[in-house]
Amino acid sequence: MLDLKFIRNNVELVRQAIINKNEKADLDALLSIDDQRRKLQFEFDNLKAHQNSVSAIIAQRKKAGEKIDNELTEMSKVAEEIKGLANQLGATNAELEKLLLTIPNIPQADVPVGKDETANKVIKVWGEPKQFSFTPKDHLELAIQNNLLDLPRGAKISGSGFPVYTGEGARLERYLINFMLEYHCQKHNYTELMVPLAVNRKTMTGTGQLPKLEEDMYQIEKDDLFLIPTAEVPVTNIYTDEILIWKDLPKRYVAYTPCFRREAGSYGKETRGLQRLHQFNKVELVQFTEPEKSAEALEEILANAEAILQAFNLHYRVVTLCTGDLSFASQKTYDLEVWAPGTGKYLEVSSVSNFGEFQARRANIRFKDKTGKVRHLHTLNGSGVATPRLLIAILETYQQEDGTIKLPSVLDPFLRLTL
């Protein structure tokens, strides 16, 4: 969340950020509640000071054998007033906290302003689209021909958006995950974590999924737990309510998890095959850094994710998201979009984001800097990468005229076969 003092001192900046991010936060209500809270706090502090002062006088007079009936009567009334103010303060603070959780992060100054994805900017293109001497098939045709997927049975088991990978399709999915984990650990110096797939409400709030995105989450209501939408959630929250030391930063973690998303707002979007799922696999990269080094870390995570696509020699582009396409918690985000020649379009395969201290404030993650001062650190993450659209690009790029798939040689140590 944003620092309340920062909001007070930068009201118009925050108001413009709410507009630019297409959010509906009520900044005026928050400022009004904050004003009420400060007035109540002022009254409370004055009464407590008066209570302490009179209590000292009572003690002196009692010791001297003087009457203290009037003072005791007055203090009884003051105690009731203090109790009432404390209750009001508690309710006001709760309401203020609730409103603070609705205020989005401030986009960085270099983020393009725009209402939606049409204002995103392509900043890099890598490789060339593969040319075919035949009309390439899309991944679903290829998967069916090669017995890699069984979507009808997945739908029978759980509903649409829950794929079943079969035979060599299951093996390929597993080896893609292993390849990416080993790549990031060995070449990019990440430490692997294996984390819970169900998290509590505090954890989901810490990274910014709640309260805004609750409708998109799968909830276990009896236990008030949520299936994770991304490994970002449990990995970022491993340091909740902790203070790290500057010399131990940055911390780099990689984790594979299944991801669960209801996709409540995806009506009308392309859902063919593996393009949009309720359950999918993803390898996630998370970094904790000193604030002064987070901009550099963002570029590093982007390069780490790009390296996976380059290893498979897949044509892709890097896109800077505009303000209207940024997530609620992000300051700046790059999307990696891989080219799918059979589908005939670019597909987002990774988002790489810098959250500044936004998540760290919500989750109370801090560090002690070189001077000994305790500050909020910066958190960043990026997909490194999600498997469904990576698999789409690999199948469609490496298909043969007869519909078989000749997998890239980089997978040889993991999977020695031609589909």
Mean pLDDT of 158-187: 96
In a domain, 183, yes or no: yes
In 3D, which of 260, 284, 285, 256 has the Cα closest to residue 194? 256
Among candidate residues 350, 383, 389, 396, the one labeled active-site is 389
Helix (H, G, I), strand (E, B) or coil at 352: strand
List the catalytic residue out of 74, 95, 214, 348.
348
Q: Which long-range contacts (CB under 8 A, 24 or more apart) does 292-295 make?
A: 293/249, 293/250, 293/378, 294/354, 294/356, 294/378, 294/380, 295/354
181 shares its domain with 252: yes
pLDDT above 90 for 412: no
Task: Give the pLDDT mean for 231-260.
Answer: 98
Q: Is residue 345 part of a domain?
A: yes
List the single range of 223-232, 268-277, 347-356, 358-367 with lowest mean pLDDT: 268-277
CATH number at 398 reads 3.30.930.10
> 27 and 169: one domain?
no
201 belongs to the catalytic site? no
Question: Of 335, 311, 339, which is closest to residue 397 (Cα–Cα)?
Answer: 339
Same domain, 204 and 336: yes
Mean pLDDT of 318-325: 98
417 domain-assigned: no
Token pair recorded at residue 368: 């002690």
Q: Does any domain span residue 146?
A: yes
For the whole model, what pTM was predicted? Answer: 0.93
* Boundary residue ending a domain (43, 72, 100): 100
What is the tens place of the pLDDT at every residue in 97-135? 999 999 999 999 999 999 999 999 999 999 999 999 999
List 351, 353, 357, 361, catalytic entry = 351
Within this chain, do residues 137 and 57 fall inside the same structural domain, yes or no?
A: no
351 is annotated as an active-site residue = yes
Domain containing 49 — which CATH number?
1.10.287.40
Closest CA relative to residue 21, chosen from 355, 320, 322, 323: 323
Of 54 and 288, the one with more pLDDT: 288
Residue 261 annotated to the active site: yes
Q: Structural domain of residue 320, as residue ranges? A: 117-411
Question: CA-CA distance, 308 to 203, in Å (whole number)?
Answer: 29
pLDDT tens digits, residue range 24-73? 999 999 999 999 999 999 999 999 999 888 888 888 888 888 888 887 88
User: pLDDT digit string (tens) for 364-383?
Assistant: 999 999 999 999 999 999 99
Query: Are residues 121 and 94 both part of a single domain?
Result: no
Domain presence at residue 121: yes
| Residue at a domain's end among 52, 69, 100 | 100
Q: Has residue 106 been placed in a domain?
A: no
Task: Assess if residue 110 is contained within a domain.
Answer: no
Residues 96 and 121 in one domain: no
Q: Is residue 108 part of a domain?
A: no
What is the number of structural domains in the chain?
A: 2
Spot the catalytic one: 37, 261, 362, 366: 261
Q: 37, 252, 276, 366: which is the annotated catalytic residue? A: 276
